[in-house]
Amino acid sequence: MPWDIPQMVTTVAGIVNKFVPDRDQQIKLEAELSSKLADYQQTQLIAQSDIDKTEASSSSFFVAGWRPAAGWLTVFGLAWATTLQPIAEFTAHLFGYKGVFPVIQSDILTNLLLALLGMAGWRTLDKIKGVATTAVK
């Protein structure tokens, strides 16, 4: 998860500045804090990337297949909510059906789809930069 490092540094620096009166020392401490937080964030992102690579290379469907499954379920749910359900309801009412069709909460599906598309966008950027994998197993 990306952090708002400048905000964190500002908050912590505000506290530290109450105890360190020398302005040069304050600037030095802020720079050191910013550097340490950025290093920690980089370490976390690399660790998550390694986990993602391990999951993607797994031959188990339940490990490597959860992202595609989430994508397909999201697409199907949105297709039902936006296209198939209105057509099905119209057709059913033409034949005299008076019941109610289930409603899918498309806001949750939209959030999931946007997150998946965001990851796909980052992956595309990786490919443009030449960080593409040679094969997905």
4 with 19, same domain: the answer is: yes
Domain, as residue range, for 29: 1-57
User: Which helix H or strand E contains 85, and what residues bound it?
Assistant: helix 85-94
Residues 2 and 65 in one domain: no
What was the pLDDT predicted at 137? Answer: 47
- Under DSSP, the state recorded for 59 is S
Pick the last residue of a domain from 57, 84, 105: 57
Do 32 and 12 reside in the same domain of the chain?
Answer: yes
- Shared domain for 34 and 79, answered yes or no, is no
pLDDT tens for each residue of 10-69: 788 788 888 888 888 888 888 888 888 888 888 888 888 887 777 777 676 655 666 777
Residues 69 and 3 both lie in one domain? no
Query: Token digits for 126?
Result: 């990786």
Please tell me the predicted confidence (pLDDT) of residue 125. 73
Q: Same domain for 41 and 70?
A: no
Cα angle for residues 80, 81, 83 (degrees, 5° grid): 65
Checking if the pLDDT of 73 tops 60, the result is yes
31, 57, 83: which is the final residue of a domain?
57
Higher pLDDT, 86 or 59: 86
**Token couple for 137:** 């197993």
Task: Residue count of the chain, please give it.
Answer: 137
- The structural domain count of the chain equals 2
Percent residues over pLDDT 90 in the chain: 11
Quick one: how far is CA 22 from the chain centroid?
42
Instruction: Indicate if 36 and 75 belong to the same structural domain.
Output: no
Instruction: Check residue 29 and give its pLDDT.
Output: 84
Q: Give 118 or 88, the one with higher predicted confidence.
A: 88
| Residue 16 Cα distances to 27, 44, 117, angstroms | 11, 25, 41
Query: Do 80 and 129 fall into the same domain?
Result: yes
Q: Dihedral angle at the C-alpha atoms of 21, 24, 28, 33, nearest 10 degrees?
A: 40
8 Å CB contact between 104 and 62: no
Q: H helices then E strands: how many in the chain?
A: 6, 0
